[in-house]
Amino acid sequence: MAYQQKERADIKEKIVKVLRQSLSDEETIKSELRILSWIVNEKVTPVKLERRDFWKDKEGVWKPGKCRGLSDSDVIFILEHGVEIGRYMGFNADKFAAKPEAEPVPF
């Protein structure tokens, strides 16, 4: 049986908003918490929230690295700005806004 090589997908990103950015001391690695859609073979995926690393090549151009898990400070940021983040992601996040009379829901 012959191995069939798959055609490489055409992948682009459409950044909606960069929420936070951190830069290493050497300024060669950065990390972004961002909202974006991926466009794969001209099909737009639903909006996502991700944290991604980038590295700088020899010519000084930023190259995408790995998508990383959220840090504790990312989670705190998301909780503090959830309504605004939800709006950027395209859903009615007002329903998640804390109400003074609301009691915490136990897990």
Q: pLDDT tens digits for 48-93? A: 999 999 999 999 999 999 999 999 999 999 999 988 999 899 887 6
User: pLDDT value at position 103?
Assistant: 64
CATH fold of 11-96: Transcriptional Co-activator pc4; Chain A (2.30.31)
- Residue 8 to residue 97: CA distance in whole angstroms: 43
User: pLDDT value at position 91?
Assistant: 82
Residues 22-33 have pLDDT tens digits of: 999 988 999 999
The percent of residues above 90 in pLDDT, for the chain, comes to: 66
Helix (H, G, I), strand (E, B) or coil at 97: coil
33 DSSP β-pair partners: 20, 51
Confidence (pTM): 0.75
Q: Where are the domains of the chain?
A: 11-96
